[in-house]
Chain A
Amino acid sequence: MSGPLLSARGLSIAFGGVRAADGIDLDVAAGEFLAIIGPNGAGKTTFINMATGYLRPQTGTISFAGETITGLAPRAIVRRGIARSFQIPQLFTEHTVLENVALKVAARRGFWHGFRPLLDAATTRAALAVLDQFGLGDAAFARATELNEGTRKLTDIAMAVALEPRVLLMDEPTSGVASAEKFAIMDTLVAALRARGVTAVFVEHDMEVVERYADRVAVWSQGRILASGPPAAVLSDPAVLREVIGVEARHVGGGGDARA
């Protein structure tokens, strides 16, 4: 397919006096890993909420694979192939990890018909395949309430992946995770997403993660996109560092000029 897979044009939304999106134009190509960075309140999560139907933009349109999806309900959008994960993992706390993922597999493959058990052979196999890809096989029978934060994050993302999306929007996949763990988690999930051919957009505060895993980075501030391009170029742009990243600059790894 030519043209972007996910495309936003002129998205705007305001909460009270705060413009969380102020004319956002953004294209995401199929197969791309796009990082969105910017200070708190820049409108990054708001974009995810608009793209998944949780919020409706006041102006502008969002299209997916050529179809306008602005204003559709979340469940209509997810059926078209856009899934999301959450900054604070949203697990089904009364279920095991396997059941959490199986519910998503079942949601994709036929939820309403028959009295088949949720954990029938086919659904269990598909759910375990996802868990294995995320290195969660050992946690399959743990209850969602018993997990550490890193496992909760991975489970949350595995649930979204079990929906077999074409685009996955991730809200801070490494936040709340011990810094020793973050690369392991990113390695696992990037490998899983690449293996499945899933396009990814992720909001991220950790510049080391952005540098290492993003194909492209878009810098947001006050509801606008200030810069967009390859991480090496964007993250070494003094204007970006000064204007946007500010206190986060100390996290930037690699080139000395980034710390200037």
Chain B
Amino acid sequence: MGGRLAAPATVGTALVLGLAAAAPWLTFVFTIALAKGLAVLGILLLLRAGQVSFGHALYLAVGAYTVAFARPLAGDVLVLLPLATAVATLVGVVVGLFVARYRDIFFGMLNLAFSMVVYSLLEKLYAVTRGTDGIRVDRPTIAGVALERVPYEWTMLGLMLALAIGLGFVARLFLASPLGQALPAIKARETRLEFAGISARRVLLVAYVASAALAGLGGGVIALTTLHVTPLIAYWTHSGELVFIAILGGGGAVLGPFLGAVAFELVRVYAAAAFPDAWQMILGAVLLGIILFASRGLWGLYEGLMARLGRRA
């Protein structure tokens, strides 16, 4: 990924693969975590502009249900994932044209509203969506090859790692471009951007559509990993989870969302196993600790550590 991100990206990939090899059930956990990381990467783009969406589970759901609906017609992961991304992009444009007019609490709440409308439609339109029963997704082929469960899950994890690194790289280029640099300018002084001849609304729309596409792709991967899609994926707690992970991981670099997502899923899985009644409290305490003592998130902790090591060397 160039520069200071190449080393942590390589180490992270090796850690994920190594841990998954040691404890095979983690293959599933990591794939889901990294898929959420994609959606969180989208959240990060919006955070750069100072905007928080409390409704991005909508795009997870759009991606996941696109896979579920299209699965009987298209049998390959390499068709289903681009399709999920495309549909989420389209929905992102339509919703984005509306929400990009608003800022701050209105932006956040409108996103929440859209996601909850979709959630209730998914739940109520039983004839189409099978309601809370959800839709089972038959395991598709990958590049034309039909795989058994274990190799399938490994291939999905490998694919997801490649997507995380590739799209992280693209996001990094985007954030360094004039358009990406205009996002913090929206946060600081939106009117000055207008007086430079730039439409802040259009800048935010581009970031919003990109975030929708990333979340849609993530939702598609989740559907292809769990092989079962329910309306719960659109529920607001999932949207909140994405924002939670964004803060946990930190917005300083494009690896933050993936670091945060993996840490989040691991804490959740292990805390839920060890303290079945208190795991949500543990997650809450972790977030509180991060906000109080490491406001730049886990990535900020990592950077601080590297800076200290660098000074000592």
The reply to whether A94 and B188 form a contact with Cβ atoms under 8 Å apart is: yes
| Known A-B contacts A90-B189, A99-B181; A83 and B195 likewise in contact (beta carbons under 8 Å) | yes
Q: From B174, B179, B191, B199, give the contact of A90 (CB < 8 A).
A: B191
The reply to whether B196 and A91 contact each other, CB–CB distance below 8 Å, is: no
B3 at the A interface (CB under 8 A): no
Contact of B197 among A79, A94, A117 (CB under 8 A): A79
Question: Does B181 contact A103, Cβ atoms closer than 8 Å?
Answer: yes
Whether B195 and A52, one on each chain, are in contact in the complex, defined by CB atoms closer than 8 angstroms, is yes
**A104 close to chain B: CB less than 8 A:** yes
Interface residues on B, range: 20 to 34
Secondary structure dominating the interface of B: helix
Interface presence of B100 (CB below 8 A): no
Number of A-B contacts (CB under 8 A): 85
In the complex, A112 has a CB within 8 A of chain B: yes
Q: Does any Cβ of A come within 8 Å of B309's Cβ?
A: no
Which residues of chain A in 115-150 are interfacial with respect to chain B, using CB atoms and an 8 Å cutoff? Answer: 115-119, 123
Complex contact B187–A118 (CB within 8 A):
no
CA distance in complex: A78, B193 (Å): 11
Decide: A103 and B195 in contact? CB cutoff 8 A: no
| CB of B109, distance to nearest CB on chain A (Å) | 25
Residue among A79, A90, A111, A163 making CB contact with B182, cutoff 8 Å: A111
| B177 CB contacts on chain A under 8 angstroms | 114-118
- Verify if A107 is at the interface (C-beta below 8 Å from B): yes
Asked whether B197 lies within 8 Å of A106 as measured between CB atoms, the reply is no
24 sampled A-B residue pairs with Cβ under 8 A: A76-B197, A78-B196, A83-B195, A90-B189, A90-B192, A92-B185, A92-B188, A92-B192, A93-B188, A93-B189, A94-B187, A102-B181, A103-B181, A104-B196, A107-B178, A111-B179, A112-B179, A115-B173, A116-B178, A117-B173, A117-B176, A159-B196, A163-B196, A163-B197
User: Which residues on A are within 8 Å of B, measured CB to CB?
Assistant: 52, 54, 73-76, 78-79, 83-84, 90-95, 99, 102-104, 106-108, 111-112, 114-119, 123, 159, 163
Q: Which residues of B pack against A, CB within 8 Å?
A: 170, 173-174, 176-182, 184-185, 187-189, 191-199
